[in-house]
Structure 1
Amino acid sequence: MRYPVTGLRTFRAGSLAAAILAVGLAGCQVDSVSGPTASELDPYTGSKENIASLSAVLEANPRDPHAYNMRGTAFGKANKSEQAIQDFTRAVELDPSYYQAYANRALVYRNMGRMDLALADYNRALSINPNYDSAYVARGNIYRQHNQPGLALNDYNNAIRLNPSDPRAYHNRALIYQARNQHNKAVDDFSRAIGLDPKAPAPYNGRGVSYLAQGNAKAALEDFNWSLEYDRKTASAWANRGVALEELGHKNEAIGSYNRAIALEATNKTAREGLGRLGATYSRTRT
């Protein structure tokens, strides 16, 4: 069954996949990656015990910028943003060339929605160390999310040139290509990201969207399944999985996936429109 759609001239006219991709790409059904890779996450970092230990270090060494940077990182992990900013600020006061502390403060500012301050800190970090690849990835994400894809692409290219083993740079560059309907390039970059961090769910979800755009619903479904294998709480992956199943003619399974998406995110447009096309209504399912 086909449905009329406008707005995506690069896809075949009336394609269901085109209809969903129009919603998906505009409605953030793919996910950016800016933090550490899955293998780098350490839940102890933001624990009360770690913060207390670092505070004891600072009591003994009150002019140690590295200790302030470490405790600031712990505060950031614990979602104590103001304390984190205070520590990173103290770190750069003690050592104005401490580019990692500028970048860490930028991340906290970004999480707080203070993008102008975040961008200024990333710029400062890169002026001190033009080879700081992680800062290029992070700054590129700010540019991309604020409709400056050319600047973002340049930053991701620099990050990859400096560190070809960072999956985040490939993933986020793929999102630029995907938004430009350059899906072959997007698939290549998502695949590189997956090869470097096979347990990260977001690149599978992103690659699946590009496979849908290429008319390969079977490969897309496989990727959405892998994404959900590593994170079953991502509404966009369930919604996108529903699209692939619908495209393949598996109506009941598609309805189930759309329901799972809505259970996680009540306003998920892709899932709600999918249920509407299939003549179904939301029925709560166990997530």
Structure 2
Amino acid sequence: MTLAAMTADVSGFTIHEAHRRHQRNPKLAAMLILGSALLLAGCQTDNTSESMIRVERAQGSDENIASLSSVIASNPSDPEAYNVRGSAYGRAGEFRRALADFDQAIKLNPSFYQAYANRGLVHRNMGDQQAALADYNAALQLNSSYDVAYIGRGNLYRQANQLDSAFNDFNKAIQLDTTDPRAYHNRGLIYQARNDHAQAIEDFSTAISLSPSSAEPYNGRGISYVAQGDDDNAFSDFNTAINLNGKLAESWANQALIYERRGEKAKAQKSYSHALQLDPKYEPARAGLARVKAMS
């Protein structure tokens, strides 16, 4: 029986904290604090197009962007303001505008390593992997302890199936004591690909402790539990993933897999069908539904 594929891609924009000089400009300081709320934190699964980020329009809203544009109009020489607005554009999926803002931030401050990493993420989401790699490398040349850039570059390597290089980057971020769950989640995926499910479970568990409201590490850990024959813990994880985010096709397909293994064909068929309603192209659900129907 083929396990549902787990190919999570978790990405995030980071906002460089306001320098002390911004305390003299309360409006800018407030907008930079707002920008920190635009982080793409946590874990995300994307089974059809790993190069796309989850868009949360409310946090990349026209209203927020308009406010940030007002800040830039008052502070046209401030690279941090461009970085914040670029992150907001990234959240809204307006990648070309995001690129323009990160370009301007870097032009104003060539040592702005956070802006390089943010621009690298946009390049990756636009499908320009070489430009993304160059930006992540530039960020790390400027700051060799920047965990976000290691995680971003690791995702590039993982997408290119360069698993050893990806593993090294995620390891480096973890060695830097990152609290970013993406490092553990993505390293867990590599352990999983290597059939080292005990280590995968450990990493997914750490990701869960760092981001308990994210469904994806529960799915990841559940799949490794299935591989170990621990269907009870797997079922618990898949149900938790559904409770946290009922719109992920893979969570329903994973739940269906346990029903299928238990011989509960009607429940398996219902969950596989629901997964396909959420994502008609999700192949593990399509294959699972075909298996269950063939057994009926």
Coarse TM-score class (shorter-chain normalised): 0.7 to 0.9
> How far 1:165 moved relative to its partner?
2.3
Identity over aligned pairs, percent: 51
Question: SS in structure 2 opposite 1:279?
Answer: helix
Using the TM superposition, give the Cα deviation of residue 241 of structure 1 relative to its aligned residue in structure 2, in angstroms. 1.1
Deviation (angstroms), 1:253: 1.0
Question: Which amino acid letter does the alignment assign opposite residue 144 of structure 1?
Answer: R
Contact 1:221 1:241 in 2 (8 A): yes
Contact 1:32 1:175 in 2 (8 A): no
Supply the AA of the counterpart residue of 1:180: R
Per-residue Cα deviation, 1:25-63 (whole angstroms, up to 9, x for no partner) = 4xxx44232233359x98654122222222222222211
Counterpart code for 1:32: D
Separation of aligned partners in 2, 1:268 and 1:45: 28
The residue that corresponds to 1:10 in the other structure is: none
Equivalent residue, structure 2, for 1:12: none
Find the partner of 2:281 among 248, 262, 267.
267
CA shift, 1:163, in A, is: 2.5
**Structure 1-normalised TM-score?**
0.85
Corresponding residue of 1:34: 11
Distance between the aligned counterparts of 1:208 and 1:184, measured in 2?
Answer: 12
RMSD value, Cα: 1.9
Matched, 1:20 2:34: no
1:16 aligned partner: none
Structure 1 residues 167 and 82, CA gap change in structure 2 (3 angstroms): same
One-letter amino acid of the structure 2 residue matched with residue 147 of structure 1 = N
> What TM-score, normalized to structure 2?
0.82
Runs of 5+ consecutive residues of structure 1 not aligned to the other structure: 1-18, 282-287
1:178-200 per-residue CA deviation (whole Å, 9 max, x = no partner) reads: 00111011011001111111111
Residue in 1 aligned with 2:164?
150
- Conserved? CA contact 1:30–1:209, under 8 Å: no
Confirm or deny that 1:102 pairs with 2:113.
Answer: no
Correspondence 1:135-214 to 2 at 5 A: 135-214=149-228
Paired letter, 1:188: E
Residues 42 and 182, structure 2, Cα contact 8 Å, conserved in 1: no
Give 1:33's aligned amino acid: V
Q: Distance in 1 between matches of 2:113 and 2:96?
A: 19
| Mapped partners of 1:45, 1:252: distance in 2 | 40
Amino acid at match of 2:104: R
CA contact (8 A) 1:32 1:202 kept: no
Could you tell me how far 1:268 is from its partner in structure 2? 2.0
Unaligned stretches of 5+ in structure 2? 13-39, 44-54
Of 60, 65, 69, the match for 2:83: 69
| 1:229 counterpart (221, 243, 248) | 243
How far the C-alpha of 1:217 sits from its partner, in A, is 1.4
The one of 44, 48, 55 aligned to 2:69: 55
Which of 102, 112, 117 lines up with 1:88 in the alignment?
Answer: 102
Q: Contact between 1:255 and 1:278, CA under 8 Å: does it hold in 2?
A: yes
- The reply on whether 1:78 has 2:92 as its aligned counterpart is yes
Q: What is the CA–CA distance in structure 1 between the aligned matches of 2:70 and 2:292, rounded to whole Å? A: 60
Is 1:115 matched up with 2:115? no
How many residues align? The count is 257
Q: Which runs of 4+ in 1 moved over 3 A?
A: 41-45
Aligned to 1:20, the other structure's residue is in SS state coil
211-220 or 170-179: bigger deviation: 211-220
Residues 157-186 of structure 1: per-residue CA shift (max 9 Å, x gap): 111111342211110000000001110110
